[in-house]
Structure 1
Amino acid sequence: MAGMHKSKIELNIELDENRVPENLHWTAEDGGISNEEAKAIMLSVWDSNAKESLRIDLWTKDMPVDEMKVFFYQTLVSMSDTFNRATQDEKMTATMKDFCDYFAEKLELKK
């Protein structure tokens, strides 16, 4: 039997004197990513003992608001895709996608 493969994703955060993120970098060697810059990171972890999600949301001082809006939109779309893959709940996925369309429309992200 083959040994278990381990994979690591590394986040590096540089903070200013007030502990506000100035620089974010991430590495995922299995994915070919090495010390790539990011302007924002959203990380969710499920704590099965407490039955709750734990979150880390970080963005740099220079993350433009218009890019943050697109980041949120794309994250919501991705979450609805992941929800569908995880649950096969087509009806709720369609509802989530409708909200994503509404979100994009209200923020004037879709031309």
Structure 2
Amino acid sequence: MPTQKKDINITVELDEKNVASNIAFKADDMPNVDAVNCRAMLLSFWDAQNKDTLKLDLWTRDMTVDEMKIFFHQTLVTMADTLERSIDDERIAGDMRDFCHYFAERMEIKE
């Protein structure tokens, strides 16, 4: 069976102080959609050889504190879902979702 290749392109515009002013992404799976602009991104890669996570976390100067709180909450919820699918452990994923609920309360985010 032939392998497939998909490209995801991320473009980051920087201001004169090298602060992200715009982040945009485009993927092959989005053929009829222009690049999507966003205010923040969290990107992680697993380096199996070194047993380490390589991370790229960026946000623009326009990202508000309230948006960042929601962004982190939604990211944590997604991570709980991914954890459950990847290791098939409903109990620990549930514990993580409990933390997400606590996080939302502490950050005063409406779920």
Match of 2:104 in 1: 104
Match of 2:11 in 1: 12
TM-superposed CA distance for 1:91, in Å, is 1.3
Aligned-pair identity (%): 46
Q: Give the letter aligned to residue 109 of structure 2.
A: L
Cα deviations across residues 11-70 of structure 1 (Å, max 9, x unaligned)? Answer: 000011221100111001213443110100100000001001110000000111101100
Distance in 2 (alpha carbons) for counterparts of 1:75 and 1:83: 12
Report the aligned-residue RMSD. 1.2
Match of 1:93 in 2: 93
Where does 1:1-111 land on structure 2 (aligned, <5 Å)? 1=1, 3-32=2-31, 33-110=33-110
Question: Scaled by the length of structure 2, what TM-score is found?
Answer: 0.93
Tell whether the 8 Å contact from 1:39 to 1:59 is kept in structure 2 after alignment.
yes
Tell whether the 8 Å contact from 1:12 to 1:25 is kept in structure 2 after alignment.
yes
Question: Scaled by the length of structure 1, what TM-score is found?
Answer: 0.93
Distance in 2 (alpha carbons) for counterparts of 1:5 and 1:84: 26
Number of aligned pairs? 110
User: Which of 24-33 and 14-23 deviates more?
Assistant: 24-33
**Ranges of 4+ aligned residues in structure 1 off by more than 6 Å:** none
**5+ residue gaps, structure 2:** none
